[in-house]
């Protein structure tokens, strides 16, 4: 469902190791908002919820709720480090358009 690059796996593992409370993995969600219509939300997750799809790569567990699954199917998550900013980047084949920041899409 979701592919993680090696850089994304490393960033997720770092976040898990630095978490103040134990977490099983990460929740990736899509909700209405952002400048293009939908935005991505990501955070630490301890338990699965009813309807979740659970996927993972290289020891990283991802939880995706039922409403977000069609929006993220086939997506690749990367982590880029630059001079001015660093962060997760979403390459989503379901996005018709995306905003300049890359964090929202339609």
Q: Confidence class of residue 8 from pLDDT cuts 50, 70 and 90?
A: very high
The string of pLDDT tens digits covering residues 25-50 is 999 999 988 777 888 999 999 999 99
**Residue 103 clears pLDDT 70, i.e. is over it:** no
pLDDT of 101 reads 64
State the pTM of this model: 0.88
What's the average model confidence in pLDDT over 66-77?
Answer: 95
Beta bridge partners of 57: 60
- In terms of C-beta distances under 8 Å and separation of at least 24 residues, what long-range contacts does 44-47 make, across chains too? 44/15, 44/16, 44/19, 46/21, 46/22
Q: How far apart are CA 102 and CA 25, in angstroms?
A: 23
pLDDT single digits (tens) 85-101: 899 999 999 888 777 66
Pairing relationship of beta strands 53-57 and 60-64 according to DSSP bridges: antiparallel
Cα dihedral angle (74, 59, 65, 22), rounded to 10 degrees? Answer: -150
């Amino acid at each position: 469902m979701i592919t993680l690059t090696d850089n994304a796996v490393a960033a997720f593992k770092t976040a898990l190791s630095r978490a103040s409370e134990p977490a099983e993995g990460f929740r990736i969600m899509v909700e209405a908002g952002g400048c293009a219509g939908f935005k991505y939300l990501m955070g630490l997750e301890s338990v699965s919820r009813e309807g979740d799809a659970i996927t993972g790569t290289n020891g990283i567990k991802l939880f995706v709720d039922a409403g977000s699954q069609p929006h993220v199917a086939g997506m690749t998550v990367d982590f880029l480090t630059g001079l001015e900013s660093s962060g997760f980047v979403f390459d989503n084949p379901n996005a018709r358009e995306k905003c300049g920041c890359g964090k929202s899409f339609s």
